[in-house]
Amino acid sequence: MRTKKAFYIMISNLSYQLVYTLIWLVLPWLFMTIYGSVMNGLILSIRQFLNFFNIVEAGIGLSSVTALLKPLASNDKATVNRILSSTKIFYIRAGYIFLSLITLLAFIYPFFIAHQVSFKVSFFLVLILGSSNFLDFFIIGKYRVLLTADQRFYVFTNIQIISLLINLISYVVLIKFGYNILLVNGIATLMFASRAFIIYAYVKKNYTYVSFKEKPDTSAFAQRKDVFIQQIAGVIVLNTPIILITIFLGLKEVSVFTTYNMVFSAIVLLVTSFSSAFLAGLGDLLVRGEKQRVIEVFTIYESIFYAFITWVFTTTFLLIIPFIGIYTKDVTDVNYVRPNLAILFIVVGVIMNIRAPAYTLINSAGHFKETRNGAIAESIINLVTSFIFISKFGTVGVLIGAFCSSIYRTADIIFYASRKILNSSLKPTIYKLGINLVLSIAAVLPVQWLITINPKNAYEWVIYAVTLSIWNLIVILGGNIIVDPKIYRNVFHRSKVVLSRRVVKTEEM
């Protein structure tokens, strides 16, 4: 059952990632080409500030998921309802704080960009874009927690996919009809808000025992403070670049940075598709005390994951600059083709993503207090080094800062998970990383020696992308299977069992 649910979560997350990628290919391009790089930078900058304000979530979600794992596993409905009642209260409190911060930002933010965009436009855009996040606190958050802990996050994801597609269609139609930027974002945001009612209806129908009016059980949130500290640190790391670029370099540079970041955000979502699929499953095994099964599942997960991100980032390395060139060819107000920026994004992306299996394990085990100091150190290193380097190297400087902090934190997380949770050596993890590095080089070198990747249009780029993706997959996956055939036989067997059960169920219907 855990394998089947993990499979469903992974498939729905991959589907969500594809839709999300489509949206963030289409919308920034439309904003850049129709409204200009400044307006595109404005919208993306505001979204980044709003993401920063999400720190008021204060670890509610992750603490709630961790607290719900045990009562859900033992079918203790009374405890589930007490925890969910606490979750609702915490989210509402956080929602009011978030609303206050949005209002404050709406009045202050326009002064930072007064010479680039009018006060009216920036003021109302903050309020409009912030209203979507506002719903997460007052309606959606508590339902997302329940579905995540019960390994049904794929339901939430599927609803998000539908809402995103409606949102995309609204944007495209309104922009094509030539409406102003405020009306476009206002109507599109309203359409996206419809997801709240769909999620509510699903939970109401499928969780008839759930009540958010029971006596709150705040003892289940004993680690909330530690989760909060870690999430603040994470938000600082993720949002420092655009905030610093907005203040010191301007909205055009924000547009450049976020164009590259768009690609790597899509990769992170792809990576998260795997991580979130295993989070509740590993947590379920840990609360049941099945230590040996945890080690077996984690070993498989880590092996597949490293092969996967090697394939993704190797392919990105070969295709990112040709993609940016084609994507921004009609934009002339700023230079977007910057190879040094692309390389640094890839390096930082790899370093930050190789920690994901270990970080998933830490979250599943609920070891938040034990790892919070590392998160604090990462945010401090990132903030200080980014601030120092941005003045000398511009946009590249914030990525140098991210490189410095991610090296430290990734090593810290991998070491902790191996030694403190699995009680095992670091050698298997280092070995897997080394093998995949060699396979990545083996895939890239023949391409660079034999092929000049210079597509003239999107169609030619897609041909290159498909061809190189297949080549990289053959080299990297094939190499991993040769090196560790036992792991991949196990994966094949599990996948076959899940798919065969799905076929039988479909036939019975």
pTM over 0.85: no
Helix (H, G, I), strand (E, B) or coil at 217: coil
pLDDT tens-digit readout, 379-415? 999 999 999 999 899 999 999 999 999 999 999 999 9
372 touches 226 (CB < 8 A): yes
**Residues 162, 37: Cα–Cα separation, whole Å:** 29
Both structure tokens of 191: 């359409």
Average the pLDDT over 325-353 and give the result: 91
Residue 57: DSSP 8-state? G
Q: Which of 130-139, 236-245, 407-416, 490-499 has the lowest mean pLDDT?
A: 490-499
Tokens encoding 328: 């921004």
The per-residue DSSP string of 432-466 comes to HHHHHHHHHHHHHHHHHHH-----SSHHHHHHHHH
What pLDDT is recorded for position 461?
Answer: 95
| Distance, CA of 328 to CA of 326 (rounded, Å) | 6
pLDDT of the residue at 464: 96
Dihedral in degrees, nearest 10, Cα atoms 196, 107, 184, 19 = -50
pLDDT tens for residues 200-210? 899 989 988 98
Give me the sign of the Cα torsion angle 52, 54, 58, 60: negative
pLDDT in tens, 156-174: 888 888 888 888 888 889 8
Most confident among 36-50, 345-359, 466-480 (mean pLDDT): 466-480
Looking at residue 25, its pLDDT comes to: 80
Say if residue 467's pLDDT is above 90.
yes
Which residue type sits at 377? A
Q: Regarding predicted confidence, which is higher, 234 or 120?
A: 120
Counting other chains too, the contacts that 185-190 makes at CB distance below 8 Å and 24 or more residues apart are 185/43, 185/125, 185/128, 185/129, 186/128, 189/128, 189/129, 189/131, 189/132
Confidence of residue 216 (pLDDT cuts 50, 70, 90): confident
| Residue 136 scores a pLDDT above 90 | no
Confidence of residue 276 (pLDDT cuts 50, 70, 90): low
CB burial of 336-373 (b: ≥16 within 10 Å; e: otherwise) equals bebeebbebbbbbbbbbbbbbbbbbbbbbbbbbeebbe
**For residue 505, is pLDDT > 50?**
no
Higher per-residue confidence, 263 vs 329? 329
Mapping DSSP onto H, E and C, the string for 137-204 reads HHHHHHHHHHHHHCCCHHHHHHHHHHHHHHHHHHHHHHHHCCCCHHHHHHHHHHHHCCHHHHHHHHHH
In terms of residues, how long is the chain? 509
Token match 């409406």: residue? 179
Backbone dihedral region for residue 354 (phi beyond 0: left; psi -120 to 50: alpha; all else: beta): alpha
Contact 60, 102 (CB under 8 A): no
Cβ neighbours of residue 496 under 8 Å, at least 6 residues apart?
Answer: none
Distance CA 429, CA 203 (A): 40
Mean of pLDDT values over 331-341:
90
User: Tell me, what's the pLDDT at 221?
Assistant: 64
* Higher pLDDT among residues 234 and 314, named by residue: 314
Buried b (16+ CB within 10 A) or exposed e, 428-467: ebeebbebbeebbeebbeebeeeeebebeeeeebeebbee
CA distance 2 to 278: 9
265: which 2 tokens? 């955000």
The DSSP call for residue 394 is T
Q: What is d(CA 95, CA 92) in angstroms, rounded to the nearest whole number?
A: 5
**Residue 48 clears pLDDT 50, i.e. is over it:** yes
- Residue 502 reports pLDDT greater than 90: no
How many angstroms separate the CA atoms of 315 and 407, rounded?
22
Are 385 and 377 contacting, i.e. CB atoms less than 8 angstroms apart? no
| pLDDT for 114 beyond 90 | no
Cβ–Cβ under 8 Å, residues 250 and 116: yes
Q: For the chain, percent helix, then strand, then coil, each to nearest 5?
A: 85, 0, 15
pLDDT band at 256 (very low <50, low <70, confident <90, very high): very high
Check residues 499 and 444 and name the one with the higher pLDDT.
444
Answer whether residue 135 shows pLDDT above 70. Answer: yes
More confident residue, 369 or 393: 393
Distance of CA 25 to the CA centre of its chain: 16
Q: Do 175 and 206 meet the contact criterion of CB atoms below 8 Å apart?
A: no
